[in-house]
């Protein structure tokens, strides 16, 4: 009961201060002493369109969700020279509380991935950007911070595993095993990614959290079986801005992992706030580490 009450208080504080992507520091948030991993700046043009390189494609499609009882929209990025005769791994990339299946387009994932492929720095993959608000009315409008809307983010776990993943596997040429599936996200989507990825080790081998929000479960809940996590998780990678008060939620998980000797990366983005500057950096780095 105490955990639920604390979560509610943190959620209210977070959504009040972070209603806009550039929300600032909330002074009363506890600070956790943790050892960060090395920050290495991305190239200045990592998110800029380059000429003379092959480009992937972005499309919007729909799938039937038995979990929600509706037809839902999803955005999909296909790598350059997508070939139906080949199999591709899949990254499920989740948005924040105020977004939907189009929010990640602000972070130019197609451009970032095209540039990585041109430089030979990433494995060809399909990126799926769903609407993580699993409700009959899943629009980002209205009071996105309402209790009802927040419930939809938890329900999405079943929609993702039971409906969306099978749909993607039926429509696109993908691998279907855990070793070729990753999940990552920003803010609320970062919390979802940690919750769903670590909570379903048989489904996801790679897990990323970018500025993960208060919906992130406590470390003891995320990793109840340390040995199982060590065995099945291939990558647990996080980033958060140094000026983002949400650092607490990433830092407490990193501290727990360090104590339990669970491989885990947490990068502190210097001067970073709660915005796409950090999140694009997260995708750029995470994408280079998965499916290797």
Per-residue pLDDT reduced to its tens digit, 157-173: 999 999 999 999 999 99
**pLDDT above 50 (res 3):** no
Whole-number average pLDDT of the chain: 91
- State the pLDDT at residue 76: 99
Average pLDDT value for residue range 193-215: 98
- Is residue 186 pLDDT above 90, yes or no? yes
Is the pTM here over 0.95, yes or no? no
Taking residues 97-118, what's their average pLDDT?
98
Q: Which domain holds residue 205?
A: 28-289
Residue 184 lies in a domain: yes
More confident residue, 21 or 289: 289
Please check the confidence at residue 19 and state whether its pLDDT lies above 50: no
pLDDT at 20: 34
Q: Is residue 12 assigned to a domain?
A: no
| Residue at 117 is within a domain | yes
Domain count for the chain: 1
pLDDT given for residue 224 in this prediction: 98
Asked if residue 1 has pLDDT above 90, the reply is no
Please say if the pLDDT value at position 5 is more than 80. no
Indicate if the pLDDT at residue 16 is higher than 80.
no
Give the CA angle between residues 282, 121, 21 to the nearest 5°: 20
Domain contains 88? yes
Q: Using CA of residue 18, residue 154, residue 197, residue 7, what is the dihedral sign? A: positive
Q: Is residue 99 in some structural domain?
A: yes
Q: Please give the pLDDT value at position 42.
A: 98
Query: In this structure, is residue 10 part of a structural domain?
Result: no
> Could you give the CA distance from residue 190 to residue 207 in angstroms, rounded to a whole number?
9
CATH number for the domain that contains residue 57:
3.40.50.1820
Order across the sheet with 126-130: list the strands. Answer: 57-65, 70-78, 126-130, 90-94, 181-186, 206-210, 235-241, 265-269
The residue with greater pLDDT, 141 or 224, is 224
- Cα separations in angstroms, 164 against 61, 63, 90, 253: 11, 7, 12, 28
Please report which confidence band the pLDDT of residue 150 belongs to, taking 50, 70 and 90 as the band edges.
confident
In the chain, the percentage of residues whose pLDDT exceeds 90 is: 85
Quick check: 127 pLDDT over 50?
Answer: yes
pLDDT at 156 over 90: yes
- Which of the residue ranges 22-26, 72-76, 180-184, 243-247 would you say has the lowest mean pLDDT? 22-26
Residue 123 maps to a domain: yes
Q: How far apart are CA 187 and CA 206, in angstroms?
A: 17
pLDDT digit string (tens) for 249-263? 999 999 999 999 999
Residue 69 is classified by DSSP as T
Would the pLDDT of 80 be above 50? yes
For residue 11, being part of any structural domain is answered with no
């Amino acid at each position: 009961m105490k955990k639920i009450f604390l979560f509610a208080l943190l959620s209210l504080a977070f959504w009040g201060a972070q209603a806009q992507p550039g929300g600032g520091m909330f002074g009363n948030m506890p600070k956790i002493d943790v050892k960060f991993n090395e920050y290495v700046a991305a190239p200045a043009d990592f998110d800029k369109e380059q000429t003379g390189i092959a480009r992937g494609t972005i499309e919007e499609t729909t799938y039937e969700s038995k979990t929600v009882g509706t037809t839902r929209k999803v955005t999909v990025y296909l790598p350059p020279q997508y070939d139906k005769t080949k199999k591709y791994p899949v990254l499920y990339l989740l948005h924040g509380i105020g977004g939907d299946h189009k929010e990640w387009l602000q972070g130019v994932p197609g451009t970032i991935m095209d540039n990585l492929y041109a430089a030979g720095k990433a494995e060809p993959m399909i990126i799926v950007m769903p609407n993580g608000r699993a409700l009959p009315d899943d629009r980002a409008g209205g009071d996105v911070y309402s209790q009802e809307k927040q419930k939809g983010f938890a329900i999405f776990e079943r929609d993702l595993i039971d409906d969306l993943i099978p749909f993607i596997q039926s429509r696109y040429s993908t691998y279907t095993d855990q070793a070729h599936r990753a999940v990552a996200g920003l803010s609320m989507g970062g919390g979802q990614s940690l919750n769903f990825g670590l909570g379903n080790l048989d489904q996801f081998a790679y897990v990323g959290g970018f500025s993960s929000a208060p919906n992130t479960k406590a470390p003891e809940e995320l990793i109840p079986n340390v040995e199982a996590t060590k065995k099945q998780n291939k990558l647990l990678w996080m980033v958060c801005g140094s000026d983002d008060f949400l650092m607490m939620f990433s830092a407490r998980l990193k501290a727990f992992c360090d104590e339990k000797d669970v491989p885990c990366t947490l990068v502190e983005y210097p001067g970073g706030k709660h915005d796409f500057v950090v999140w694009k950096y997260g995708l750029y780095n995470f994408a280079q580490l998965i499916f290797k």
